């Protein structure tokens, strides 16, 4: 039987965009046909989608990498490259997705909920895109954008109608095995259950029956809310339960009375999530078959005693009454949720990434970061003066020039954008930054490209 895994990581890699084409019309009797390079196709996205067909994160434990398809390159005659195929990765309902630093990205708590975890790169524009009155024959195109790539943490919180909460060896596994078809490991020593089990319980006649899911949550220990033992890993499976069953051992486990057991359990729930105490709950004393006649006659010495039941999963005492009361409580809890549950499927999309960031490096150069800035310089031939003019215009529109001035840049300083190096010059209040290429050219008021000799001198 495969293991149950409720924590995993995924490496999501979106598809890269295809490159735009550099092409010119070549037809008989047509002089100077003009540019007709097509755009590259967009790379595929990576989505996570909550699915009822998944019950564990086991599939990510040894194979965490998921990649979408790349976009096709553009071609002549303005033919666009094919878009890369999106990748939809199914995860169990109740999966929480977190980014770097534990930042919550999405909580996929309903079937069909999905989140975009890696956006595909945009396809590059072909040279036909850059046709203008001053550029009649653009000999450059746009490179495809790299798809997003990131590691994410996945955490599964089981979605059950009823959660059995109790100290180790309180009889939870025996009870769920009695009322459902679940077959957890059962033994007479603490911590038999190291992973949660789900059981489906049906009450009533066929065609008019109530069905609900019960979770056997591994036993809690005092201090679980602070992470003692595997406290947080156990407690998170209680968060989504509609009804809580506080299971107490009448055999006075480790010398603890039922009242003391209840105090410990409720205290741990309150410290972990105070709102858990507001959930409908039923107090149940288990192992009633171990009580003598005189003890059976005594009223339970616990809070909520009027709502407490005594059951024996071994003999069946009180089990039918327990199941019946749980069915009523679950039905009432579901009705209370109907209004909140109605609505369209939730699709989580990140905000558009148009922000740029300018920082100064230890060597005195400046680094410009942000997807928008990388797109601005992603042209196929930065030795082309027209291409450099396009880059300069794009960077100016993004506010890179203003940001560099605020950061204290001076003439001659180096600016890095992605893998490219630029030299900064201010002339008439304009940004003049040129790609670090092996050429020397100067236009009035335009970019200045550094030569190989100049770079060598700077390095020395």
| Structural domain contains residue 235 | yes
What sign does the dihedral 99-105-110-114 (CA atoms) show?
A: negative
> What CATH number should be reported for the domain holding residue 413?
3.30.300.350
One domain, residues 74 and 147? yes
| Structural domain contains residue 99 | yes
**What residue numbers bound the domain in which 135 lies?**
7-156
One domain, residues 209 and 151? no
| Structural domain contains residue 274 | yes
CA 245/CA 158 separation, integer angstroms: 16
Q: Which two tokens stand for residue 81?
A: 């490259």
Q: Which residue is listed with tokens 């059951």? A: 311
Contacts of 279 (CB under 8 A, 6+ apart): 241, 242, 243, 244
One domain, residues 211 and 270? yes
| Structural domain contains residue 1 | no
DSSP per-residue letters across 129-196: GG-BTTBSS----BPPPPPPEEEEEEEE----SEEEEESTTSSHHHHHHHHSS------SSTT---S-
One domain, residues 209 and 314? yes
One domain, residues 300 and 243? yes
One domain, residues 152 and 196? no
Of 310, 341, 372, which residue sits at a domain end?
341
CA 305/CA 298 separation, integer angstroms: 11
One domain, residues 235 and 97? no
One domain, residues 372 and 244? no
One domain, residues 449 and 317? no
Of 341, 369, 387, which residue sits at a domain end?
341
| Structural domain contains residue 81 | yes
> What CATH number should be reported for the domain holding residue 258?
3.40.50.300
Q: Which residue is listed with tokens 């400046």? A: 366
CA 122/CA 144 separation, integer angstroms: 6
On whether the pTM is more than 0.85, the answer is no
Of 156, 189, 224, which residue sits at a domain end?
156
Calculate Rg over the CA atoms of the chain. Answer: 32
One domain, residues 253 and 291? yes
| Structural domain contains residue 35 | yes
> What CATH number should be reported for the domain holding residue 80?
2.70.210.12
Q: Are 236 and 273 in contact (CB under 8 A)?
A: no
One domain, residues 128 and 244? no
One domain, residues 142 and 176? no
| Structural domain contains residue 346 | no
| Structural domain contains residue 104 | yes
Number of separate domains in the chain: 3
In order along its 460 residues, the chain shows pLDDT tens digits of 445 677 899 999 999 999 999 999 887 776 667 899 999 999 999 999 998 788 778 889 889 999 999 999 999 999 999 999 999 999 988 899 998 888 889 989 888 899 999 999 999 999 999 998 888 889 999 999 999 999 999 988 877 788 888 887 778 888 888 887 655 444 444 444 456 677 778 887 766 677 788 888 776 655 544 444 444 566 777 887 889 998 888 876 566 788 888 888 888 888 888 888 888 999 988 888 777 665 555 555 565 544 578 888 888 888 888 888 898 898 888 887 765 555 566 666 665 566 788 999 999 999 998 888 888 888 888 888 888 889 888 888 888 888 888 888 888 888 998 888 888 887 644 445 444 443 333 333 333 444 333 433 333 3
């Amino acid at each position: 039987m495969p293991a149950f895994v409720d924590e995993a990581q995924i490496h999501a890699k979106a598809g890269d965009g295809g490159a735009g084409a550099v092409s010119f019309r070549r037809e008989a009797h047509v002089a100077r046909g003009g540019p007709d390079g097509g755009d590259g196709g967009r790379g595929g996205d990576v989505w996570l989608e909550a699915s009822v067909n998944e019950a564990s994160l086991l599939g990510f434990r040894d194979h965490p990498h998921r990649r979408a398809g790349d976009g096709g390159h553009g071609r002549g005659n303005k033919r666009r490259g094919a878009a890369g195929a999106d990748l939809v990765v199914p995860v169990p309902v109740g999966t929480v997705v977190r980014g770097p630093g534990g930042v919550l990205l999405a909580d996929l708590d309903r079937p069909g909920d999905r989140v975009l975890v890696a956006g595909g790169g945009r396809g590059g524009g072909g040279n036909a895109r850059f046709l203008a009155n001053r550029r009649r024959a653009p000999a450059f195109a746009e490179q495809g954008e790299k798809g997003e790539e990131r590691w994410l943490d996945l955490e599964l919180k089981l979605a059950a109608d009823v959660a059995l909460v109790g100290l180790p060896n309180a009889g939870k596994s025996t009870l769920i095995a009695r009322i459902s078809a679940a077959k957890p490991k059962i033994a007479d020593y603490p911590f038999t259950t190291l992973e949660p089990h789900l059981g489906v319980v049906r009450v009533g006649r066929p065609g008019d029956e109530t069905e609900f899911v019960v979770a056997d949550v591994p036993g809690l220990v005092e201090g679980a809310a602070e992470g003692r033992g595997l406290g947080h890993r156990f407690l998170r499976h209680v968060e989504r339960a509609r009804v809580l069953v506080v299971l107490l051992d009448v055999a006075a486990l480790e010398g603890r009375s039922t009242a003391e057991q209840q105090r410990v359990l409720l205290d741990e729930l309150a410290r972990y999530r105070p709102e858990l105490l507001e959930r409908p709950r039923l107090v149940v004393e288990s192992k009633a078959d171990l009580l003598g006649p005189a003890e059976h006659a005594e009223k339970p010495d616990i809070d909520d005693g009027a709502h407490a039941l005594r059951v024996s999963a071994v003999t069946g005492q009180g089990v039918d009454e327990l199941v019946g009361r749980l069915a009523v409580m679950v039905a009432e809890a579901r009705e209370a949720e109907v209004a909140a549950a109605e609505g369209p499927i939730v699709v989580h999309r990140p905000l558009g990434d148009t922000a740029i960031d300018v920082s100064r490096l230890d060597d005195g150069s400046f680094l410009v970061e942000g997807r928008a800035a990388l797109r601005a310089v992603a042209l196929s031939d930065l030795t082309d003066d027209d291409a450099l003019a396009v880059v300069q215009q794009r960077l100016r529109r993004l506010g890179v020039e203003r940001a560099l001035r605020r950061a204290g840049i001076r003439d001659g300083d180096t600016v890095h954008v992605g893998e490219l190096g630029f030299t900064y010059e201010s002339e008439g209040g304009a940004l003049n930054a040129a790609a670090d290429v092996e050429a020397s050219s100067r236009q009035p008021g335009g970019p200045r490209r550094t030569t190989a000799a100049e770079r060598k001198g700077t390095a020395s």
